[in-house]
Structure 1
Amino acid sequence: MMKRLGLLPLALTGVYGILSYHVYKNVTKPQIFTHEEAYDYDIQQGSYNAVLIRSMPKETTIIPSSFGYDLFAYWIPYKGATKTVILTHGVTSNIYGALKYFQLYYDLGFNVLAYDHRNHGESGGTTTTHGYYEKHDLEDVVRWVRQKVGSNAIIGTHGESMGASIALQHIATYDNLDFVVADCPYEDLFTILKYRMKVEHKLPIWLGLYGASLINKLMGQGFYHDVSPVSEIEEVHTPILFIHGKKDHYIPFDHSVNLYAHKLEGIRELYLSKNGDHADSIIEDNAQYVDVVYDFLKKIGLKK
């Protein structure tokens, strides 16, 4: 009997290790859409017009990442433009999820660059780190745009969900852009993972997050708490517009409210879409969404 009791801690440790690895694997290697699947999904959602997307004057571009893999991108030039927006998509999606914001900026005379994050779409990289490495990939994209457009380039980012949080982590690290629009970002990776697991599982699977975070660190990708836009944003001077749907079932809108509250320097704006669910505010409240973005760009001198 005593021998069996002595084995119990070892058995529980083994079970927790298996649970932690399962959580780590799901976070790091999510099930991702192909380009075709993402395109079909967004057409069904009413994100954009198929004719418009097919007729875009896009150039397929490969941008080298500093980490040794390639990032697949579409460069959509506007003749003579010095202004460029970089679109960043959410987790499991890809370049076609980001293109719902293309016309918003192209109509204002912006060049548009959309790309696949690492481990998504046609880009390289074998893991998703939710910003830990992706923020540096984004800086590689920014450098590519500056080389393409020239030293007078005006550059901003517009991201949704994970892409929005990546854009915020990037600006907190580099603070070298003209604006950021962050649509439905999470404030902290550990916080949103814990919330999602409590929503999606009856059992306390979220307890495995602590072990998964340690595995993530041992794999060279940082602790989950290291991916935390809310802890990094206080000293960012770049103008930021936070957008979030009040009906967002995936990332509660208070994440954007908290991020807005923690940005203490420079211009900040917050728009809570009345009818927006996760990453669809531009669809559900399109006219107001466009007005809010355009008013923000006007305020910072990028729209007449």
Structure 2
Amino acid sequence: MITLFIFIVALFTIIVITGFILTNQIIYIKKKDDDELYNREVNEGRFKPEAFTQLPCQKIEIQSKYNYKIHGWLIAPHQANKYMIFCHGVTVNKVNSIKYMDVFLERGWNVLAYDHRRHGESGGKTTSYGYYEKHDLAEVVNWLKQRVDHNSMIGIHGESMGAVTVLLYADMVKDGADFYIADCPFSDFEEQLVYRVKKSVNLPKQLFIPLTNLFLQWREGYSLKNISPISIVENITQPILFIHSQKDDYILPEMTKNLYKQKKGPKKLFLAQNGSHALSLAENKTAYEQVLDEFLAQYKLDN
């Protein structure tokens, strides 16, 4: 009897420790150092500090419903009532959005970029890959709408996790923005996690997925199934431009292809020939901008 008790306690302990390890890898994913990210963007020519400092940049703070501040920039050099919001990917921060901001600034758009929870200057203790981030995005959109003309055009661009956040938000808030750009999103978090784990350590999903779900629900209040753009994308009525690099092996381009197929109504797909994950613009700038211009013109979003 004592042996059985010891076995049960030992098994329970192993399960708890394993559950914490698995979920810690997700919710506390290692971020890139802010200084290193800044230097990378500068050295690779995607961020030009001298030009940036000449822009009318307002630092903003927005209160999250989860009791922390969301930090960002509002850059509005143009008279036009056109605004783009940018959602960066996991492990980086709003500096990573500057390359996209520049594209829209050149086209007469005003822009807003912010740090997701637990990234950059924003608060928040954990990363949730869009589940809680979509509510922060809602606060950002509401903040902007309160300060601009009610007839303003608003678009939202997201990269990687930011693209997932954009799609989840678009389903949650039906009249949030006029259009969305989803650059290299995953279509389903569970499927993406299985792919990444299999590629790195090759654990059978029958072992780690149920345990991960159990501990995510216990610790964070959601499961992997709650982060599934493929299950909700058909509900989004606004135009969506889907973008993915064909050589992306971190999030496979098939995920974006499936999202595009599932989306009903106005949409456009751009599969970039060059670049790994999140480098479609950097490695295909001319084609990227051409597709963007075609998308905006096709759906009369650049008036």
TM category, shorter: over 0.9
- C-alpha contact 2:78 2:109 (8 A) present in aligned 1: no
Q: Partner of 2:66 in structure 1?
A: 67
* TM-score, normalised with respect to structure 2: 0.93
Deviation string, structure 1 residues 80-134 (Cα, Å, up to 9, x no partner): 1211000000001000111110111111111100000011110011111111111
Match of 2:32 in 1: 33
* 2:241 matches 1:241: yes
- Normalising by the residue count of structure 1, what TM-score does the alignment of the two structures yield? 0.93
Task: Tell me how far apart the structure 1 counterparts of residues 137 and 272 of structure 2 sit (CA, whole Å).
Answer: 27
* 1:189 lines up with 2:189 in the alignment: yes
How much does 1:212 deviate? 2.1
The aligned runs of 1:163-202 (5 Å cut-off) are 163-176=162-175, 177-202=177-202
Residue number in structure 1 paired with 2:146? 147
Local SS of the residue matching 1:257: helix
2:214 aligned partner: 214
Are the aligned partners of 2:55 and 2:77 in contact in 1 as well (CA < 8 Å)? no
Give the superposition deviation at 1:217: 1.1
Q: Which residue pairs with 1:136 in the alignment?
A: 135
Contact in 2 for aligned 1:34/1:121 (Cα 8 Å)? no
Q: Offset of 1:56 from its aligned partner? A: 3.0
- In structure 2, the partner of 1:289 is 288
CA deviation after TM superposition for structure 1 residue 144, in Å: 0.9
Which letter does structure 2 place at the counterpart of 1:236? I
Task: Please name the residue that 1:276 is paired with.
Answer: 275
Q: Contact 1:198–1:206 at 8 Å: present in 2 too?
A: no
Structure 2: which amino acid aligns with 1:269?
K
| Deviating more after overlay: 219-228 vs 278-287 | 219-228
In the alignment, what sits opposite 1:267? 266
Q: What SS does the aligned partner of 1:86 have? A: strand
Q: Where do 5+ consecutive residues of structure 1 fail to align?
A: none
> What is the CA deviation profile of residues 165-211 of structure 1, one whole-angstrom value per residue up to 9, with x for unaligned ones?
00000001112211100000011111111111111225558833321
Change (3 A) 1:35 1:149: farther
Residue 146 of structure 1, CA deviation? 0.7
Q: Which has the higher contact order (CA 8 A, sep 6+)?
A: 1
In the alignment, is the contact (CA less than 8 A) between 1:94 and 1:117 conserved in 2? yes
> In the aligned structure 2, how far is the partner of 1:101 from the partner of 1:227?
25
Runs of 4+ deviating beyond 4 Å: 2-10, 202-206
Q: Does 1:108 align with 2:107?
A: yes
Amino acid at match of 1:135: K
Structure 1's 56 and 210: CA in aligned 2 closer, same or farther, altered over 3 A?
farther
Structure 1 counterpart of 2:42: 43
Partner amino acid, structure 1, of 2:79: G
Q: Is the 8 A contact 1:244 1:256 kept in 2?
A: yes
